[in-house]
Each structure stands twice: as structure tokens, then as C-alpha cells.
Amino acid sequence: MMEEEEEEVLTGASAEDKSRRPPVKGPSEPVHPEATPPGKRVENKIRVPVRYCMLGSRDSARNPHTLVEVTSFAAINKFQPFNVAISSNVLFLLDFHSHLTRSQVVGYLGGRWDINSQMLTVLRAFPCRSRLGDADTAAAMEEEIYQSLLLRGLSLVGWYHSHPYSPALPSLQDIDAQMDYQLRLQGSSNGFQPCLALLCSPYYSGNPGPESKISPFWVMPPPEQRPSDYGIPMDVEMAYVQDGFLTNDVLHEMMLLVEFYKGAPDLVRFQEPWNQEHTYLDKLKISLASRTPKDQGLCHVLEQVYSVLRQGS
């Protein structure tokens, strides 16, 4: 579902419906058909986040794109109910995906859940290469991701999406989607099964520098005595695991994404200036640098990808 923050929204632009269910075997729910008429520009409104305590009960008149500040577990005298370790390759790929388009992107997270150690390990990002309103492509994409998870012996452990020009904070719509995903992943199992959400903000002007802001969150149900309230978006602490090298899977996904967005009306023009010092391609490289493995043996491959972006945009 496209959010109001987008610089430009065109029918057929590369934005995915975040309200889709996680990949399951069988037909997918249709993606939301709404889209702004071709060529219509949507102004960049400054989206000022609100504190959760200011929300109160659900109100149908409230804008679902309202951003909400996350709450720390320490602030409410609770412990985070699970530990998280995340691979640098996951952050590398989702950051790359988020940079490619002025529209929102979405993808899924694969990993493993160890109930004994209460450790959620996020090992793979699976970008969705589907367009708004294209239910058939979305269903095929989710089936492909489902098969990839099975093939690698991984479980679905979460999802990610981007806010291209807004803070990496969840909207009310994101909070509801995350709560729904948590319930779906829990399923009929008796034990606790976490679901992690990651938000990436590549082009928000409030970021301190060229590096994207990537924020994890999880939703705590509202208090039992206030069931009509929104879920509480919680800040999640993660352990960062630096990978030794970029895998062939990551490089393959990068090339598929470049090919998918090539020629799209919402493709970022990487040769144009991002600020007085850097082009958009420079900004992308700087943002990915901290997430790039120490082994630089594949530098030539990355340069090939960057060259395609420079020419294709």
C-alpha cells in the first residue's frame, strides 16, 4: 500500500502491498488495487511522529499513515521477550533494495528460531519483485519465496519495508500489519514464535548522513483493560553479525532487482546529485559500506552492479 510520503506515484510503479500475508503454500490474497492516477504528484508532507500515549483508542478518522514513536522495553519495566541476531548480508540486501525506487518496497526475512535459547537468527532477505495491483505476480513471487525458504531449511521469521522519505518509524497501518503477521506466524503452535519487522529509511532528510536508517520493531498487544487501543510498537535490540563474504544468493538477488526496476518511472536516477557533494550512487555506496563484508574479493562484481545502475537510470 502506497503511503502519502512518496515523491511521485504512478500507476504500475514499483510499490508493494504491505498488507499481504506472509508467504504460504497456496493462493495469495489479492494486493490492494488503489493507485494514484498516472502522473499525479503527491506532495512530500512532513510526517511528525506521535507518542504512543497520545493515541488513545482507535479512531477511524485518524490517518492510518500517522507515524508512531517506538517504546523501549526498559521504559515499561519489561524484558524483550526474545533475542535477535541479524546477518550483515540481510541488511545489505534490504538497504540496496530500498535505495532503488522512490516508492516503498517490501520483502520477507528468513531464519531460525531456537526456543531453548529464545534466539531469533535472521539469515536471509527475500525481496518482493512485484508491482502494485498485480495480484498474479505477487502470488507467484510469494510462492517463489516459500520454495526458497524450504530449499534452504529456513523459516519465515519476519518482513521488511521502506519509508523512502520519512523516518524509520512504523505507521498505524504498519502496526496493525505487524500484529496480524505476529498472530499468523504464531498459528496454532503452543510455544511463542516471534515475528520481526524491519523498517528502512534511505532518503529521509533527517538522517544524520548518507547511511540509511534501519529500525527493527515488534508490537505488544494493548492492555487487556483497553482492547480497542492500538498495539504498542516496541524497539527491538539486535546483535549484528558481520558476514565474511557476500553470498551468490545476495549477488543474484541484486541483479534480479536491478533488472526488475530498470526503466520504471519511479527508478532513482543514480547519476543525479543527491546533495552538493554526492550523487545518488555515491550515497548508495556509502550506505552499503558499513554492511559490506570485510572480504573485498567481490568488489569487481559490485562495481558491475553499480555501473548498470549508473547507466540504467
Please state at what angle helix 88-99 crosses helix 280-289, rounded to 10 degrees: 170
- Report yes or no on 296 lying in a domain: no
Residue 152 has pLDDT above 90, yes or no: yes
Provide the β-strand partners of residue 273: 279
Q: Where are the beta strands (DSSP E) in 128-166?
A: 155-162
Query: 115-124 burial, b if ≥16 CB within 10 A, otherwise e?
Result: eeeebbbbbb
Residue 211 has φ and ψ, to the nearest 5°, of -75, 135
- Report yes or no on 106 lying in a domain: yes
Q: Summarize pLDDT for 263-277 with one digit per residue, the tens.
A: 899 999 999 999 999
Structure-model confidence comparison of residues 45 and 228, the more confident one: 228
- Report yes or no on 155 lying in a domain: yes
Cell of 115: 526456543
Q: Summarize pLDDT for 100-119 with one digit per residue, the tens.
A: 999 999 999 999 999 999 99
d(CA 137, CA 220): 32
CATH number of the domain bearing residue 117: 3.40.140.10
Q: What is the pLDDT of residue 102?
A: 94
- Residue whose entry in the numeric block shows the C-alpha cell 498488507: 19
Q: What is the pLDDT of residue 50?
A: 87
pTM of the model: 0.85
- Report yes or no on 72 lying in a domain: yes
Of 30-34, 73-77, 83-87, 233-237, the one with minimum mean pLDDT is: 30-34
- Report yes or no on 111 lying in a domain: yes
- Residue in 205, 216, 218, 209 with CA at minimum distance from that of residue 167: 205
How many domains does the structure of the chain reveal? 1
Q: Summarize pLDDT for 62-83 with one digit per residue, the tens.
A: 899 999 999 999 998 999 999 9
Give the range of the structural domain holding residue 133, as residue numbers without chain letter: 63-241
- Report yes or no on 266 lying in a domain: no
- Report yes or no on 307 lying in a domain: no
Region class of 12: left (phi > 0), else alpha (psi between -120 and 50), else beta: left
Q: Summarize pLDDT for 116-134 with one digit per residue, the tens.
A: 999 999 999 999 998 766 7
Q: What is the pLDDT of residue 20?
A: 42
- Residue whose entry in the numeric block shows the C-alpha cell 507518542: 51
- Report yes or no on 270 lying in a domain: no
